[in-house]
Amino acid sequence: MAKVVHNGYGTQQYRQQDVMGASPIHLVVMAYDVAISSCEKQDFARATRAITILRDALNFDYAEAAVGLFRLYQWCLDCIRQGDYAAALQTLRELREAWATVEKRYMPLNPPPAYAPATVAGQSA
């Protein structure tokens, strides 16, 4: 049986492709995934970076929702700074679930590919 060796490059390349083809809502869900896994590992730097990305991406054109999320993100960052990863983790999981629900409910089931070459009578253009 052959052993598969992962050099990290393939994984990084896969993640980059996943990010490049993701919808804005899916990017938010992905950021929550990083924040959650980082809190589970008590990885201070990565958790704070992921939450900061979420916070900095807020659109204040929707002031009420953005301000509420901003305060929650700040609270999560404060919890992490104090070493209370469990409290931050619970909040992040709940927020991630809400965004995942939005993604499932409002995103098309079969989105078109990012690039699809034109075809005429079965031949590439």
Q: pLDDT value at position 19? A: 61
Q: pLDDT value at position 4? A: 46
pTM of the model: 0.72
Is 33 part of a structural domain of the chain?
A: yes
Q: pLDDT value at position 106? A: 82
Token reading at 35: 């924040």
Is 88 part of a structural domain of the chain?
A: yes
Q: pLDDT value at position 1? A: 46
Q: Where are the beta strands (DSSP E) in 4-113?
A: none
Q: Which domain holds residue 32?
A: 24-97
Burial class (CB in 10 A: 0-12, 13-18, 19+), 95: buried
Residues facing 120 on adjacent strands: 123
Q: pLDDT value at position 39? A: 98
Is 37 part of a structural domain of the chain?
A: yes
Is 12 part of a structural domain of the chain?
A: no
Distance between CA atoms of 8 and 10, rounded to whole angstroms? Answer: 6
Find the farthest-apart pair of alpha carbons in the chain and give their distance in angstroms, rounded: 63
Distance between CA atoms of 87 and 115, rounded to whole angstroms? Answer: 42
Q: pLDDT value at position 71? A: 98
pLDDT beneath 70, residues of the chain: 1-20, 108-125
Helix-helix angle 44-56:63-81, to 10 degrees: 170
Is 117 part of a structural domain of the chain?
A: no
What sign does the CA torsion over 83, 42, 49, 94 have? Answer: negative
Distance between CA atoms of 6 and 3, rounded to whole angstroms? Answer: 10
Our count of domains for the chain comes to: 1
Is 81 part of a structural domain of the chain?
A: yes
